[in-house]
């Protein structure tokens, strides 16, 4: 293994745009090597979700710098209850396979070992990157569930029709913090851990909408719809509500002007995968959830994205 000199330090907020650029460069390198189409990086500032994660878990955020001070590695982990989740681990292509990834991953996992009684270690990653599968499996997190990336777009064509929900529910955009205690209880039931920090973030961020769903007067779930393209996470109190909450969230995305729609769906959730396929979504790729134990109930949950299950 060739050794290239890097120094490692905690991430500063001012690093995050450069981290984002390095992530895009690294992803596109992986996409090219895997025969996939690279994407166009258009961001001009740091990603608000990355800023939020660093703010909540600053001790689990590290960058690796080369001799010129450029960022060539970045990691960020999150601790929520007894769960440690790796949001990001990216090493610049020129510095891969030189031990930098292992070094950053160890620091992020040390943070988990020192802070809290972690019983579940997890992340989601690219199923077609054997290097990623190896590094995490060695640390005790092995592939668990296929996570399908499902998208639909209608460039210049007629906007798709809305999807009819199976169960008639009412929906409310959450704009205050009043409901967050109740959403936290739902998260504990469905995901096994609470994450009020993210609910505060979604209600306060202009690019996200947090939606609460009711069957008559009973709260039965929530979803997050990003103004750009993403739908999820979605949590439902009972499996029979999940596809209806998803349908209403997809419809809401159309209403607020999403021009492309993107959902990360657990492959084992047959009903949700099929209803999205019937509504014009395509399976863009299969990624994978890796974990130290079986986690979250796919029949009641649709994850947010790779960085945030
Ligand atoms: C996956 C990634 C984070 C690994 O970091 P890295 O710095 O390249 O890896 P390291 O040199 O620290 O090696 C760690 C382990 O990965 C595996 N590995 C490294 N290079 C490899 C290669 N060329 N082929 C196969 N496995 C390899 C080995 O198991 C290695 O452990 P070992 O040294 O005990 O044998 C990095 O390659 C990367 O950013 N890849 C592209 C983006 C990505 O997939 N990120 C993960 C998203 S969550």
pLDDT tens digits, 180-231: 999 999 999 999 999 999 999 999 999 999 999 999 999 999 999 999 999 9
Is 132 part of any domain? no
Whether 35 is in the pocket of ligand 1, judged by its Cβ within 6 Å, is no
Percent over 70 (pLDDT), the chain:
99
What does the angle CA 296 – CA 300 – CA 303 come to, to the nearest 5 degrees? 60
Do 257 and 156 have their domain in common? yes
Q: By alpha-carbon position, which residue is closest to atom 23 of ligand 1?
A: 97
pLDDT at residue 2, as a whole number: 62
Q: Which residue, of 97, 118, 139, is where some domain finishes?
A: 118
Q: What is the mean pLDDT of the chain?
A: 95
Report whether 97 contacts 131 (CB < 8 A).
yes
- Dihedral in degrees, nearest 10, Cα atoms 285, 290, 296, 299: 30
Report, as ranges of residue numbers, the positions in the chain whose pLDDT lies below 50. none
Do 84 and 214 have their domain in common? no
Q: How many domains are there within the chain? A: 2
Is 2 part of any domain? no
Instruction: Provide the residue range defining the domain that includes 58.
Output: 7-118
What digits encode the pLDDT tens for the residues 77-92?
A: 999 999 999 999 999 9
pLDDT at residue 156, as a whole number: 76
Do 154 and 114 have their domain in common? no
Distance CA 17, CA 62 (A): 14
Q: Tokens for 293?
A: 């134990």
Distance CA 198, CA 196 (A): 5
For the question of whether the overall pTM of this predicted structure is more than 0.85, the answer is yes
pLDDT at residue 291, as a whole number: 97
Distance CA 301, CA 221 (A): 10
Atom of ligand 1 nearest to the CA of 90: 39
Report whether 121 contacts 140 (CB < 8 A).
yes
Whether 100 is in the pocket of ligand 1, judged by its Cβ within 6 Å, is yes
């Amino acid at each position: 293994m060739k050794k290239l000199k890097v120094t490692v330090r905690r991430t500063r907020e001012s690093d995050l745009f450069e981290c984002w650029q390095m992530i895009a460069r690294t992803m596109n390198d992986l996409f090219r090597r895997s025969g996939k189409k690279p994407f166009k990086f258009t961001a001009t500032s740091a990603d608000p979700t990355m800023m939020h994660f660093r703010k909540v878990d600053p001790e689990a955020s590290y960058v690796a710098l080369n001799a010129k001070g450029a960022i060539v590695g970045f990691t960020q982990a999150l601790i929520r209850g007894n769960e440690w989740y790796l949001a990001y681990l990216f090493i610049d292509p020129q510095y891969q396979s030189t031990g930098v990834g292992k070094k950053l991953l160890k620091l992020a996992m040390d943070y988990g070992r020192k802070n809290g009684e972690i019983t579940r270690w997890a992340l989601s990653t690219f199923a077609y990157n054997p290097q990623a599968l190896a590094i995490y499996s060695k640390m005790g997190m092995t592939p668990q569930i296929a996570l399908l990336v499902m998208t639909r777009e209608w460039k210049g064509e007629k906007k798709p029709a809305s999807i009819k929900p199976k169960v008639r529910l009412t929906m409310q955009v959450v704009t205050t913090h009043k409901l967050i205690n109740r959403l936290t209880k739902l998260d504990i039931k469905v995901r096994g851990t609470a994450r009020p920090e993210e609910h505060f973030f979604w209600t306060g961020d202009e690019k996200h909408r947090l939606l609460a769903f009711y069957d008559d007067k009973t709260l039965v779930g929530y979803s997050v719809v990003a103004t750009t393209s993403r739908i999820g996470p979605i949590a439902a109190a009972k499996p029979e509500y999940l596809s209806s909450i998803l349908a209403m969230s997809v419809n809401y995305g159309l209403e607020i002007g999403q021009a492309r729609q993107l959902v990360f769906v657990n492959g084992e959730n047959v009903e949700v995968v099929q209803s999205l396929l019937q509504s014009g979504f395509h399976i863009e790729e299969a990624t994978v959830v890796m974990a130290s134990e079986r986690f979250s109930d796919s029949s009641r949950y649709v994850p947010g994205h790779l960085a945030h299950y």
